[in-house]
Structure 1
Amino acid sequence: MNFSESQVTESVSFKSRDAVSPQGITDDTDQLENSSQSGILNTSNDDAERTSTFQVTNLVNTIPDTRYDEVTPEQQFEKKSPNLQDLFADDELDDIEAWHDDITDVVIGEDIINESEYDLDSEDDGVEITPAYYHDGTVPVFIPTMEEFESFPIFIKKINSYGMKTGIVKVIPPQEWSDSLPDLTEKVQSVLIKHPIVQHISGSGGVFSQTNIEKNRTFTLPQWRRISEESDHQPPARRGERRRGTDSAPPTKRRRMSSVSPDEGTEQPARKSLSKFRRKNGELTAAELKEFVGFDYRFDSFEFTAERCEELERIYWKTITYNTPMYGADMLGSLFDESTKTWNVAHLDNILNDLGIELPGVNSAYLYFGMWKSTFAWHVEDQDLYSINYLHFGAPKQWYSISQADEKKFFNLMRNQFPDEHKRCREFLRHKTFNLSPTFLANHGIKVNKLLHNQGEFVITFPFGYHSGYNLGYNCAESVNFATESWLDAGARAKKCKCIPDAVDIDVEVLKIRLKEKRKETRRARS
């Protein structure tokens, strides 16, 4: 089957601002209308015969909008894939329970494609990379040498088996790489945190749901830090200490109002001239630039010891419904410099670069600005992709993950706790709005892996690994999705959220064609 360049360009649809879920409220209706114009190219495989592994794949793809439908082992490995109507009565399609374990063995246990057919990074030296230690006894932490760190695709290939068990890993980069990063003092002056979300969390007993409401304001980084350090957005102080921000003279509300320019809808005293307070072409005003005089974006995280973070974790879950933190999530942009050639989140070496189109947050980076209690609820990545998150500066992030072996059990528990949401959307856990506490999960037989993410470190999430977490204070992270050759068939089977009109939908067959052609060109160039 031949594909024109225009067809290939239309093979993906744009990623929504997924931090604002269907439960969230937004005024950006034009954005939703425009996003629906993107196209999706559907392809089919006309091969007459398939191996039993690919028969299982076909069976998965014949079942629309389901995750864990019940099929007998005989039907799973039938030489000829049966139709959906042959397997289920109409009233049985909502009864999702049993067959996922067998399919998971195929998806997670082995790569079911011929990886060499697409793999452009075959120069593996064969040297194994192993974890330096395990955080909390479960999550692998890697501290690679500069040589091991040099090639991102090869590094991921070597550690993939670890991440496909725990859902996440941490990578502490070599000191040489960290020392090479340029200072961000000038770069952060161009940052505008536009329309952050205000998070309202409700629930009790370890079961919570989250509503995200866009705030019609834009903040500079000094303004964001000032707000994040107000007493309303600070955790309780240690015994015998004062909470940060309580000894500031001006009232909180007055400080908050005066920290935002008038074109963002806040009240200001009458002035003879407002020209220096108006933005032009998205640039900072003279007043906003003045805020950077003497401002240091850096953050001394000495107070976040392991003991303090454990204390804050207990406080977080006890008071999760108190206050309404803001989260500057899904802000298109990067703080990496072009001079950073390896592990540059904005230019990550992976197969999504061959899509032929830029997808915000998928193959182009997003920035995330956090404060105490700003939360990312349980979810898996769009189309079961990998993701990487680098914490540029600020307070740590607390991460949680579910091991892939517990994926089915976790999904069924979430479905039982949020049955209405599941009925509305089978992929409701891609909405990032539903939370269960680690204690609640443990009481239901599901172990939660925990990881503390400090500034200057990477966290990588893996396909089928549910993850969640929250920020412990003012910080800035950068994140993007990526994919490997071993993801291709999993990506082809991944289910799409139907509620969001512009949810990510990568046509994997077109991507495979692009990769095959790229490999042919590479071979011709080497010969």
Structure 2
Amino acid sequence: MEYQGAHQAGLAKVVPPKDWRPRKSYDDIDDLVIPAPIQQVVTGQSGLFTQSNIQKKPMTVREFRKTANSDKFCSPRYADIEELERKYWKSVTFNSPIYGADVNGTLYDPDVTDWNIGKLNTILDTVEHVNGITIQGVNTPYLYFGMWKTTFAWHTEDMDLYSINYLHFGASKSWYCVPPEQGKKMERLAQGFFPGSHQNCEAFLRHKMTLISPSILRKYGIPFEKITQEPGEFMVTFPYSYHAGFNHGFNCAESTNFATERWIEYGKQAMLCTCRKDMVKISMDLFVKKYQPERYEQWLAGRDTGPIDHSRPTPEAKEFLGEEQGKDCISQEPEVEKKRPPHSSSQSPLVSYSSTLTLHLRTHSRLSD
């Protein structure tokens, strides 16, 4: 993906072969317990909103699905995605939905090896292998049970890592994305609209409470793209890519974080939240020592800083494709969508790569490719 420039967009869609399945059947998950569902309460107006969460009592997947499909919470009628999107932003402050978020576990069958979210085998595993540290949802998978209007607010990943999200079943999911090279501009816009939040915490966007509508982004010249994830599809986000989105109805997704050598520079410069004890912080010392030994002393002395080249792909991706392209890593070339969609104000190549890139997962499972 990075070899083809997807990292510059910040978000890519990967469509597996139609016969690929991570689980034979989902008929046996009704009794799975969602320990801490959250009711998402959104306040604000004119395209600027703040989201807060109220924890609810545990419920099973069966109970959650029944609630999601009830008259109170079910999806509205709509002709196309554009109409549904308009209805979302018009009603985002009404009838607070319930999100079954951050559920520990995986729905992958144990024998699935290709693109198994719980077994990605990237350099992020160094954290567990060297320090024995498990960070739930970061180097382990989380499940997310959504309903209409459940939302993930604008944020980058913890430590500006990569992330991968697979939509197991159910309704679609809408994504918005700002290219990494526009991240600072996005932060300045958010700081201007939410000065109180910024004063309390420089990294307040990591709280995942801030919603800014596409109309506001267009008005203030923030490039962005949007795309719809369908069941059976992966979405990959890239370091320092601000993204947000919402669910179209009852569904289930699984996600985790991962890393490549390219991420190390982002991790070294990630702006961290210091006001909350539960925020993820990963020491970069072991990554610099192992993968950038010639810079380790400078890093320890606080002198290893510099601007990040957002256009540079991860080194191991280029090396791998240089050796094996045309063999079994990618068995067909992606088709490039040349016509830009009318909704976008961005010049990023998201649609070109994310909407048409198809990897054959049965032959290779390296995410850095």
Do they superpose with TM above 0.5?
yes
Q: Does the Cα contact within 8 Å between 1:354 and 1:514 map onto a contact in 2?
A: no
SS of equivalent to 2:262 = helix
Q: How does 1:348-363 map to 2 (within 5 A)?
A: 348-356=120-128, 357-363=133-139
Q: Aligned partner of 1:177: which letter? A: W
Aligned: 1:204 with 2:204: no
Which residue in the other structure is 2:98 paired with? 326
Which residue in the other structure is 1:173 paired with? 16
Detail structure 1 runs of 4+ shifted over 6 Å in the superposition: none
Which residue in the other structure is 2:348 paired with? none
Q: How does 1:302-451 map to 2 (within 5 A)?
A: 307-356=79-128, 357-451=133-227
Aligned: 1:503 with 2:279: yes
Instruction: Judging by fraction of residues, say which structure has more strand.
Output: 2
Distance verdict in 2 for CA 1:405–1:516, change over 3 Å: closer
CA distance in 1 between counterparts of 2:69 and 2:23 reads 27
- C-alpha root-mean-square deviation of aligned residues, in Å? 1.7
Match of 2:27 among 185, 201, 212: 185
Q: Does the Cα contact within 8 Å between 2:261 and 2:291 map onto a contact in 1?
A: no
Q: Does the Cα contact within 8 Å between 2:117 and 2:164 map onto a contact in 1?
A: yes
% identical aligned pairs:
43
Query: How far 1:508 moved relative to its partner?
Result: 1.6
Q: Aligned partner of 1:162: which letter? A: A
CA distance in 1 between counterparts of 2:127 and 2:81 reads 40
Query: How far 1:208 moved relative to its partner?
Result: 0.6
Query: How far 1:157 moved relative to its partner?
Result: 5.1
* Structure with more relative contact order (C-alpha pairs < 8 Å, separation 6 or more): 2
Distance verdict in 2 for CA 1:474–1:513, change over 3 Å: same
Query: How far 1:212 moved relative to its partner?
Result: 0.7
Deviations 1:105-146 (A, max 9, x none): xxxxxxxxxxxxxxxxxxxxxxxxxxxxxxxxxxxxxxxxxx
Deviates more, 1:491-500 or 1:449-458: 491-500
Q: Does the Cα contact within 8 Å between 2:31 and 2:62 map onto a contact in 1?
A: no
TM-score, with length taken from structure 1: 0.53
Which residue in the other structure is 1:459 paired with? 235
Q: Does the Cα contact within 8 Å between 2:23 and 2:107 map onto a contact in 1?
A: no
CA distance in 1 between counterparts of 2:12 and 2:2 reads 13
Aligned residues: 289
Q: How does 1:52-71 map to 2 (within 5 A)?
A: none
CA distance in 2 between counterparts of 1:202 and 1:442 reads 21
Deviates more, 1:307-316 or 1:433-442: 307-316
Query: How far 1:181 moved relative to its partner?
Result: 3.7
Query: How far 1:509 moved relative to its partner?
Result: 1.7
Deviations 1:148-174 (A, max 9, x none): xxxxxxxx5535x322x2111100012
Aligned: 1:224 with 2:67: no
Gaps of 5+ in 1: 1-155, 239-306, 518-527
Aligned: 1:195 with 2:40: no
Which residue in the other structure is 2:251 paired with? 475
CA distance in 2 between counterparts of 1:183 and 1:379 reads 33
Which residue in the other structure is 2:73 paired with? 233
SS of equivalent to 2:205 = helix
Query: How far 1:516 moved relative to its partner?
Result: 8.2
Q: Aligned partner of 2:71: which letter? A: S
Aligned: 1:162 with 2:6: yes
CA distance in 1 between counterparts of 2:266 and 2:110 reads 32
Instruction: Judging by fraction of residues, say which structure has more helix.
Output: 1
Gaps of 5+ in 2: 294-369
Deviations 1:487-512 (A, max 9, x none): 11221121211011132111122134
CA distance in 1 between counterparts of 2:188 and 2:291 reads 36
Query: How far 1:515 moved relative to its partner?
Result: 5.8
CA distance in 2 between counterparts of 1:225 and 1:431 reads 27
Structure with the greater alpha carbon radius of gyration: 1
TM-score, with length taken from structure 2: 0.75
Distance verdict in 2 for CA 1:406–1:157, change over 3 Å: closer
Query: How far 1:191 moved relative to its partner?
Result: 1.5
